A and B are shown apart, each in its own frame.
Chain A
Amino acid sequence: MSRNTKIISIALLLLVGFLSWVYFYTFHSKHRNIAQEEVTAEFQAPELLYAFTQQDSDITSYADQVILVSGNVTSTDENSIVLDGMVQVNLLPAAETSVQNGQSISLKGRCVGYDDLLEVVKIDQATILTE
C-alpha cells in the first residue's frame, strides 16, 4: 500500500467517524434521566412556592433543575400529587404509587416552573423517595 492510499483511507475513516458522530448527536442525543441525576436543592413545599412568588426573586433560578421537595399530600389523581396545595408533582409514567391524602412524602423531580393560574410550582418526571 502506497503512502498516499494510507493517508486517504485514514482521512476517509476519520470523516466517516465524524459524520456518524454528527448524525447521532443530532438525531439520537439522549434525554436527561432525571431519576439518576443528583439533587441540586432541597425544599419544603412552602419554601419552594415562596422562592418562586417572592417579588425580588429570580423566577427561573430553580426551573429545569433536579430538586427534592417534601410536604403533605393534599390531593392525588391519575399521575399527579399535590403537596400542601402548593406544589404539583407529576410522576414518571413508570412510577407506581399508593400515596394517600395527609401522608408526608419526599419526591425528586425536575422543576418546571411557577403556574400563576393555579398558584402552584410544577414538577415533572418525579420519583418518590420516601413514603
Chain B
Amino acid sequence: MKLKLVSALVITMAVVQLQAQTKYIDKNGEIEFEASEELFEPVKATNTTVTAILNADTGELASLALLKGFHFENSLMEEHFNENYIESETYPKAIFRGSLLNFNHSQVSETPTEVTVDGKLKLREKEKDVRTILSVQKVSDVIIMKGSFKVTPSDFDIEIPKIVANKIAKEVIVNLAFKLQAK
C-alpha cells in the first residue's frame, strides 16, 4: 500500500515536472525582411533556418537568426548586407527574447488567435524593444506563429550611405513564420 502511494506520488511529480517543461521548438523558422522603395530594386532577404523556442507554460519566447543565413536574390546586395551594413563577421546573430502576454497554452486551438508579444531584439550589441501582435494557432500539435514588426536601421546603429539612401526604406518590415513542435 505504502509502495503504491509512493509510486503514485513519484508518477504525479514526474508528470508535473514534464508539464513544467513543455517546450516547443522550430529550428527551421522563417524570417523575411523588406526595405524596398518603389521604383528601385527590391531590398529583401529571407532566412529559413531561424531558431525559435517557446516555453508553453510561461509564454516565454526566444528566437535566434544567424545573419549569414539571410539570402538575397541579388548576390551583391547580400555581400553588402554582410560586409557593410550588418557586419556579420563581427556580429553574427540577431536574437529576440520576450514573452507572449496572457498566453494560455491550453486555449490555443486550430482557430488563429491574436497574442501580443513583448520583448527585446538584440542586434549589433544594440537592444530594441519590440511589441507586436502574433497570430497563434495549433494544428496537430504544431504551434504556428505568424506576425510582423518594424525596425529602423538607426535602431541598431546601421548607417546607410547617402548615395543609396533613397533606395533603402527608412523602415524595415520584418515578417516571421514559425512552426514549433513539442520537444
Residues of A within 8 A of B (CB): 25-27, 29-32, 59-60, 63-64, 77-80, 88, 90, 112-118, 120, 122, 124
Report chain A residues within 8 Å CB of B88. 63
Q: Is the CB of B75 within 8 A of A114?
A: no
A77 to B29, CA, bound (A): 13
Residues of B within 8 A of A (CB): 25, 27-28, 41, 48-49, 51, 53, 62-64, 66-69, 74-76, 78, 82, 88-90, 92-93, 95
Report chain B residues within 8 Å CB of A115. 51, 64, 66, 93
Q: Is the CB of B74 within 8 A of A80?
A: no
Q: Is the CB of A117 within 8 A of B49?
A: no
Known: A115-B51, A118-B51, A124-B49. A29 touches B62 (CB 8 A): no
- Which of A29, A30, A31, A124 contacts B69, CB < 8 Å? A124
Q: Is the CB of B49 within 8 A of A88?
A: yes
A116 to B68, CA, bound (A): 15
A32 to B71, CA, bound (A): 11
A101 to B154, CA, bound (A): 46
Q: Which residue on chain B has the smallest CB distance to residue A123?
A: B49
Q: Is the CB of A112 within 8 A of B66?
A: yes
**Nearest CB of A to B66, in Å:** 4
- Which of B27, B62, B78, B92 contacts A114, CB < 8 Å? B92
Report chain A residues within 8 Å CB of B27. 80, 88, 118, 120
A126 to B75, CA, bound (A): 18
A131 to B78, CA, bound (A): 33
